[in-house]
Amino acid sequence: MGEVVVREFEPNKDREKVEAVERICEVGPRGKISLFTDMLGDPICRVAEIGEEIVGMIRGCIKTVTCGKRLSRNGKHNKTNAKEVPVYTRVAYILGLRVSPDQRRMGIGLKLVKRMEAWFRENGAEYSYMATENDNLASVKLFTDKCGYSKFRTPSVLVNPVFAHRERVSSKVTIIPLSPSHAEILYRRRFSTTEFFPRDIDSVLNNKLTLGTFLAVPSGFCRAETWPGPDLFLSDPPHSWALVSVWNSKEVFTLEVQGASRVKRTLAKTSRVVDRALPWLRLPSFPDLFSPFGFHFMYGLGGEGPEALKMVKALCGFVHNLAMEKGCRVVVTEVSPNEPLRFGIPHWKMLSWDEDLWCMKRLGEDYSDGSVGDWTKSQPAMSIFVDPREV
């Protein structure tokens, strides 16, 4: 093997070669390649090269997120007005590491990670983290054994198929579409202390891939046209409510399930045919996942009150119908295993997985305001905010 050179990605020169590596790696998406999107502000890419052949690449970005919370008081000794405020830190995210199958076990992945971490440190990141499947032993071993990462969080990925019939949304629940500015106020005032909450939530909500943020309230509270706005809503909220935002991942890349037998494909197709012919039966038909398909991602799921689960279920029905109209075949979300609202999220166990492993490493001293110490050693919180730009 020749010398491995790691250098900066050059779009005009490297695009076709990098896309070729993506395609031969079994984890690569089909269709549009998300590698070159700028959704995360200013992601960077490094490529590994042997001679003129690109044999690997890695992507990364840095953002500011919530890593904990602290009490803030109006006045030095005023405890009655104390409220929880977020503690932010600069965290780097490794979006994707790829190495050509015939060039693996040669230290190329390690070299790419080290080069990316150097860039993270130079640009002020305090932590670096990555996500991988829990059973991807090669990836887990690389990051935990050779790069010094620790297993940090294990959120659950919940996947629900989109049927050929519309889901019923309870008549006792009203769904209110929110403007990005109103959604931002609700998120910042109620959920900004959630772990991994992005400080630039406004950028996420205003991104063209966010299809909207939707609020569920009891039907007697108000109608969409009489929505009082976030200030009045938060000053006198209903006994229960929930909200969620929807991200159109279909516009970024498509996926495809491979290796299914002809019998399974036939059974799945038959269920869809019957569902389309007899939609009033509301049969749980299996979507066509054996050809390239797109999906919608639910993020920012939150709620309050004794009937929050009911509100979440209504939102999921609404999002299902939206996905059906947009031609998506599944709806996906990712939540903390401790998330109490997860029990209101419909999903198929055969399509979902319990542990999406997040590994984290401390790159330097924690300079965040109101330091929480070493974040990598903290206990999991009840909720977690999964940034759709990283999906």
**Which CATH architecture group holds 4-153+356-378?**
3-Layer(aba) Sandwich (3.40)
Identify the pLDDT of residue 177: 97
Q: What angle do CA 183, 184, 187 make, to 5 degrees?
A: 85
| CA distance linking residue 69 with residue 85, whole number of Å | 5
- Give pLDDT tens digits for 90-143: 999 998 788 888 888 888 999 999 999 999 999 999 999 999 888 888 899 999
Each residue of 42-74: pLDDT tens digit?
578 998 888 888 888 999 999 999 999 988 866
Alpha-carbon separation of residue 34 from 8, 60, 315, 323 (angstroms)? 18, 12, 28, 20
pLDDT of res. 82 = 74
CATH topology of domain 158-344: Aminopeptidase (3.40.630)
Q: What is the dihedral of CA 87, 391, 183, 159, to 10 degrees?
A: -120
In this predicted structure, the answer to whether residue 32 has a pLDDT above a threshold of 50 is: no
Alpha-carbon span 214 to 315, nearest angstrom? 7
Structure tokens given for 205: 């909500």
Question: 């399930």: which residue's tokens?
Answer: 257
Task: Provide CB contacts within 8 A for 362, sequence distance 6+.
Answer: 126, 127, 374, 375, 376
Do the two domains 4-153+356-378 and 158-344 of this chain adopt the same fold? Answer: yes
Q: What ranges do the domains of the chain cover? A: 4-153+356-378, 158-344
The enclosing H or E element of 180 equals helix 180-191
Tell me the pTM: 0.88
Least confident of 104-113, 164-173, 337-346, 379-388: 104-113
